[in-house]
Amino acid sequence: MNAWQSLTRRLAVATGPIRSLRGASAQAQAQRSVEDVEARPFSEVPRPGRLQFMRSFMPGGEFSDASIVEFSMGMRRRYGDIFILPGMFGRKDWVVTFNTGDIATAFRNEGAWPHREAFDSIVHFRQHIRPDVYGRTLGLTVGQGEDWGKMRSAVNPIFMQPRGLRMYFEPLSNINNEFIERIKEIRDPSTLEVPSNFNDEMQRLIFESLALVSFDRQMGIIRKHRDNPDALALFRTSRDIFRYTFQLDVQPSAWKIVSTPTYRKMMRTLNESLDVAQRVLAESQQLLEQRRRAGEQVSSHSMLQRLMDIDPKLALIMGLEILFAGVDATATLLSAVLLTLAKHPEKQHKLRAEVRQVMPSKESLLNEETMRDMPYLRAVIKETLRFYPNGLGTLRSCPTGVTLSGYAVPPGTPVLLAANALMKDPAHYPRPDEFLPERWLRDPQSGQKMQASPFTFLPFGFGPRMCLGKRVVDLEVETSVAKLIRNFHVEFLHDASRPYKTLFVMEPAIDFRFRFTDIQE
CB 244, CB 121: distance < 8 Å:
yes
Determine, yes or no, domain membership for 41: no
| SS3 of the chain: helix, strand, coil, percent, to 5 | 55, 5, 40
* C-alpha 448: how far from chain center: 29
Distance CA 184, CA 73 (A): 41
Determine, yes or no, domain membership for 150: yes
465's CB contacts (< 8 A; 6+ apart) are 110, 114, 116, 152, 396
The domain containing residue 511 runs over which residues? 111-390+459-518
The CATH number that applies at residue 467 is 1.10.630.10
Determine, yes or no, domain membership for 202: yes
Distance CA 433, CA 438 (A): 14
Q: What does the pLDDT profile of the chain (521 residues) look like in tens digits?
A: 443 343 333 333 333 333 333 344 444 444 444 444 589 999 999 998 877 777 776 777 777 666 666 777 788 888 999 999 887 777 788 999 999 999 999 999 999 999 987 789 999 999 999 999 998 889 999 999 999 999 999 999 999 887 778 889 989 999 999 999 999 999 999 999 999 999 999 999 999 999 999 999 889 999 999 999 999 999 999 989 988 998 898 777 899 999 999 999 999 999 999 999 999 999 988 888 887 888 887 766 789 999 999 999 999 999 999 998 899 999 999 999 999 999 999 999 999 999 999 999 998 888 888 888 899 999 999 999 999 988 888 999 989 999 999 999 999 999 999 998 899 888 899 999 999 999 999 888 777 787 777 789 999 988 999 999 999 999 999 999 999 999 999 999 999 998 988 766 788 999 999 999 999 97
Distance CA 454, CA 472 (A): 25
Determine, yes or no, domain membership for 465: yes
Tally of domains within the chain: 1
Alpha helices in 344-374, H assignment, sequence order: 345-358, 368-371
pLDDT at position 75 is: 83
CB 330, CB 384: distance < 8 Å:
no
Determine, yes or no, domain membership for 213: yes
Distance CA 338, CA 361 (A): 21
Determine, yes or no, domain membership for 306: yes
Q: Is residue 467 annotated as involved in ligand binding?
A: yes
pLDDT at position 13 is: 31
Determine, yes or no, domain membership for 252: yes
CB 387, CB 435: distance < 8 Å:
yes
Determine, yes or no, domain membership for 99: no
* C-alpha 229: how far from chain center: 26
CB 316, CB 228: distance < 8 Å:
no
Q: Please give, one letter per residue, the 3-state secondary structure of 191-204.
A: CCECCCCHHHHHHH
CB 471, CB 413: distance < 8 Å:
no
